[in-house]
Amino acid sequence: MKLDSKIPEGPLSEKWTNYKAAQKLVNPANKRKLNIIVVGTGLAGASAAASLGALGFNVDIFCIQDSPRRAHSIAAQGGINAAKNYQNDGDSVERLFRDTIKGGDYRAREANVYRLAEVSGSIIDQCVAQGVPFARDYGGLLDNRSFGGAQVSRTFYARGQTGQQLLIGAYSALSREIERGSVKLHERCEMMDLVVVEGRARGIIVRNLVTGDLERYAAHAVVMATGGYGNIYYLSTNAMNSNGSAAWICHRHGAAFANPCYVQIHPTCIPVHGDYQSKLTLMSESLRNDGRIWVPKKKEDAEAIRAKKLKPTDIPEEDRDYYLERRYPAFGNLVPRDVASRAAKERCDAGYGVGTGLAVFLDFSDAIKRLGIDVVKARYGNLFQMYQKITDSNPYETPMMIYPAIHYSMGGLWVDYELQTTIPGLFAAGEANFSDHGANRLGASALMQGLADGYFVLPYTMQNYLSDQIYVGKISDQTPEFAAAEEAVRQRLARLLDVKKNAAEKHSVDYFHKALGRVMWEYCGMARNIESLTKAEELVSDLENKFWQEVNIPGSDNEFNPDLEKGYRLEDYFELAHLIIADARHREESCGGHFRTEHQTDDGETLRDDENFMYVAAWEYQGHGKPEVMEKEPLNYEHIKIVKRNYK
């Protein structure tokens, strides 16, 4: 495997302009001869399919849900970043670029991040033209708010439902192309295998989730836009249907997987409240604009609150520890997510946690006094309502309780500057790729990256690849490669269903998924060390062996069978878990979301090793049960000065 990032020559600010000026194009008549598959209908997938369809390509897009409007992008609450400088507070493309690199703890590719910042303003223009109802100030101009890791207000928002509104905009663009006939939508389908012909991605095998039928689809290129792999931890903020299987399938076929140990912990989630939860609920990071995070200064007060002998409102101001404001005075409650998460864990581990002991307070009493309750309701009302429905606690009267949880995966399929994987013709967009966030994603940047990739990057870079594919002709799905891929899927499904026939004990897929999630959270979660990672590897291996002896998947493969779907994905998660652990073991440093307790400063901050680990770790699959081989892509910072990350 050879890694070629294809970063254009020239000054950083001119790379994307120079690339577009020199790229190869496909003329309008030839676009109609080319077929593209897009897997996933979230912001990255929907925007890519709509844009490619509008250009004239023939696009097939696949949706695991019954509608693209149910994609997990809908769950994003707080906003989308863009360097518009509407607040006239000093923002710029350069500052957004630098904040993103710093937020990722200097582990992102410089050229990709600068391009992301560069196109961010165009995203807002595009979405406004689509009718996205962004919040506006008293003069009618688009409003902004702050997010973690920045000292400017650059986040555009639509109350606490920004993802939903942006997805409706992308869905509208997609629907237009579906009506025109340039895009064909396939709902309730899950990708089961990638078809590679003569080294190029040429199609996919999908399973109809209603009938169980396997179907073949061929194309000149394939785009993966299937999101991240956070659900390997079982309890996360991801929808249960969000899974990493499609990307992992591509990895099995030779697509490098980069930085899998970079998994983000979000600091602002409703704490776990029972053994029967399937997911956790995220409270938007935007709440940290006006909410203040604290725990009692005295352990006896924390113990009394846990015992329900005291209420949080009983604790006087002088006995409250606003620990983020104390530790990070320059950024306060708006430090990046990884920093805020570790700080919350430290306070709870030290005995100052509230609730079950694994929670801290997010308090709006100061904001209500300062702004008035009507302003707070206008900014965050639907989020407060959601919190009250889930917890039966009124956040206008008593502080919210929050605790960190698995949220976003910065790792993913390795892609070059063109968003192409190591398999020619296979592209990855949005959270499915690794490219833009380094070791930690700043809040409000996921929506930015997904739409940047779909609207403004892939329509250019894919043409560069497709320009010589007009000579190939129509791709057939009746080749030996398609037949072999379909048969391999049938055998995988049969093997899963056969386990119950000889099982001495029988357990559901969820039983094993929960157990895997507990192992990963406990031993490879917010903090890792060599002992915990060694233990994790042993426990995952034992659990995987037990899975293949005792999993009970009812029904058959030729019907609606959610347990079979989950079992298929869990098989992939076991392999992915081994790789996450291996990646975390090899990276003997702390950076962003990867925190090795052996490598930290005296005050508990990440301690990078730039001399030995200034690279992307890209892993190559060697077969089931075999150690993967790592290739390094050096991170060369030509424009930015590498310094210790400091938010104090």
Give me the active site residues, please: 337
Q: How far apart are CA 299 and CA 208, in angstroms?
A: 55
Q: How far apart are CA 449 and CA 225, in angstroms?
A: 12
Task: List strand residue ranges (DSSP E) for 488-559, in order.
Answer: none
Instruction: Look up residue 69 and give its DSSP letter.
Output: G
Q: Which residues contact 464 (CB under 8 A, 6 or more apart)?
A: 23, 24, 418
For 368, other C-beta atoms within 10 Å of its C-beta total 17
**H helices of 144-244, where?**
162-180
* Torsion angle of C-alpha atoms 589, 593, 597, 600, degrees rounded to 10: 60
Residue whose pair of structure tokens reads 């429905």 in the numeric block: 389
DSSP assignment string, 365-411: HHHHHHH-HHHHHHHHHHHHHHHHHHHS--TTTS-EEEEEEEEEE--
Query: Which helix (H) or strand (E) element contains residue 96?
Result: helix 93-103
Closest CA to 87 of 44, 36, 145, 38: 145
Q: How far apart are CA 501 and CA 503, in angstroms?
A: 6
Q: Which residues contact 63 (CB under 8 A, 6 or more apart)?
A: 40, 41, 71, 185, 186, 187, 188, 189
